[in-house]
Amino acid sequence: MKPIYVDNNATTRVDEEVFAAMQPYFCEEYGNPSSMHSVGGRVGPKLKEARNQVANLIGARPDEIIFTSCGTESDNTAVHAALAADPGKRHIVTSRVEHPAIGSLVSSLSKQGYRISEIAVDGDGCLDMGSLEESLTPDTALVSIMWANNETGVIFPVEEIAQMCRQRGITFHTDAVQAVGKLPINLNDSAIDMLSLSGHKLHAPKGIGALYVRKGTKFSPFMIGGHQEKGRRAGTENVPGIIALGKACELAGKNMQEENTRVRDLRDRLETELIKRIPDAKINGTVKQRTPNTSNISFANIEGESILLMLNEFGICASSGSACTSGSLEPSHVMRAMGVPFTMAHGSIRFSLSIYNTLADIDEIIKQLPPIVERLRVLSPFS
């Protein structure tokens, strides 16, 4: 049975064209781009092409792209760079709903004496912009706010925040791991200083990411060693990964329209039908500002984990909360920050679609989920 995979915010399938583009760079063109000989020399132009492809997708200049190993490394690098650039400043502003790549990092920095302001969200998952503005002080070294939330898809007004930061001379970073490839991004025309992205969320393989650093932003490397990436990220380049990321970005640009029409329609159909058929079900996160592929729905009085296990028996792969938090019975930090009541937060399921999903996939979920919820509610101690 071919799975119905609706867990694309956790990771995506590698696109066949992406795989084909990277394949020669394992056994045939395996050179190190730093080598002087022809085997190494043939790789350099491909890296340049990939850098152009990534830059094109987000409206950046190629020399503003630094290849990293993943979204987490990009986030860590950005935070490190901003703090190192302004060592006298000891305050960081972020949100309560960041991915642990930022959330756990700032917790660890608080133990090193940094003061952290974690901006609250409301019941719809929207950021409290008033308290964000009030939190900015002359001691603020960095504001890091995600572009789109991985659990709910809620989009934050990052450009507005970037402008606020620019007016005050504060560095602004955004974790755009869940936004790149889904939403149009034009950094040439923006006040964002740094942006993280990750290959495996957009049909490239795991283990490759990138950090955009606006030209002129003070930067100090996180990985120290060789001169790769113009001294901004040491370590021999992941050549096949970089080529794959370039190709994936090119394809994401071409598929963006489909993502925002067909995929969005599939997501909306899934939600509308589930809400219609299942009593006491509620969408988490504002429907006004969301990535087109993501739906997070709470089903009252049952465990999300039980729903997932039963869906899995029908080959349907979704997630409860983020992949990192599922497995624990604690409601996710995002649901808690939104104030979702305990009985709803526990039964929250995230469906995250991609261009590979079909109408038949969605209709199968619509068919299978209502009886699953009904059965679990009969067994539930809460009902």
Active site residue 324: yes
146 binds ligand PLP (CB under 6 A): yes
Contact between 176 and 210 (Cβ < 8 Å): no
Q: Binding of ligand PLP at residue 338 (CB under 6 A)?
A: no
Q: What are the Cα distances from residue 249, in Å, to 102, 173, 182?
A: 24, 20, 11
Stretch touching ligand PLP by CB under 6 A, among 66-74, 83-91, 183-191, 352-360:
66-74
Select 72 or 152, whichever has its Cβ closest to ligand PLP. 72
List 22, 43, 58, 70, residue binding ligand PLP (CB under 6 A): 70
H or E stretch including 210?
strand 209-213
Catalytic residue (one of 27, 126, 249, 324): 324
Asked whether position 95 contacts ligand PLP by CB under 6 A, the answer is: no
Nearer CB in complex with ligand PLP: 54/177: 177
The yes or no reply on residue 71 touching ligand PLP (CB under 6 A) is yes
The nearest distance, CB 276 to ligand PLP, in angstroms, is 29
Stretch of 64-72, 248-256, 313-321, 356-364 lying at the interface with ligand PLP (CB under 6 A): 64-72
Subset of 152-191 contacting ligand PLP (CB under 6 A): 175, 177-178
What's the token pair of residue 188?
A: 């040439």
Nearer to ligand PLP, 244 or 302 (CB): 244
Nearest distance, CB of residue 152 and ligand PLP, angstroms: 11
Give the residue, chosen from 198, 295, 296, 332, that forms a contact with ligand PLP under the rule CB under 6 A.
Answer: 198
345 binds ligand PLP (CB under 6 A): no
What residue has token string 């993943």?
A: 70
- Indicate the residue among 22 and 376 with the shorter CB distance to ligand PLP: 22
Helices marked H in the chain: 16-22, 24-27, 38-41, 44-58, 71-85, 100-111, 129-135, 158-167, 239-258, 264-277, 304-313, 333-337, 342-345, 359-379
Note every long-range contact of 104-108, with CB atoms under 8 Å and residues 24 or more positions apart, other chains counting.
Answer: 105/75, 105/76, 105/79, 106/79, 106/144
Asked if residue 283 lies in contact with residue 268, where contact means CB atoms within 8 angstroms, the answer is: no
Angle at 334 between CA 332 and CA 339, to 5 degrees: 100
Least Å distance, CB 75 to ligand PLP, is 6
Q: What are phi and psi of 279, to 5 degrees?
A: -70, 155
Out of 12, 53, 76, 150, the only residue in the binding site for ligand PLP (CB under 6 A) is 150
Distance of CA 377 to the CA centre of its chain: 33
Q: Centre a 10 Å sphere on the Cβ of residue 100 and count the other Cβ atoms it contains.
A: 14
The least distance separating ligand PLP from the CB of residue 79, rounded to whole angstroms, comes to 12
Positions annotated as catalytic residues are: 324
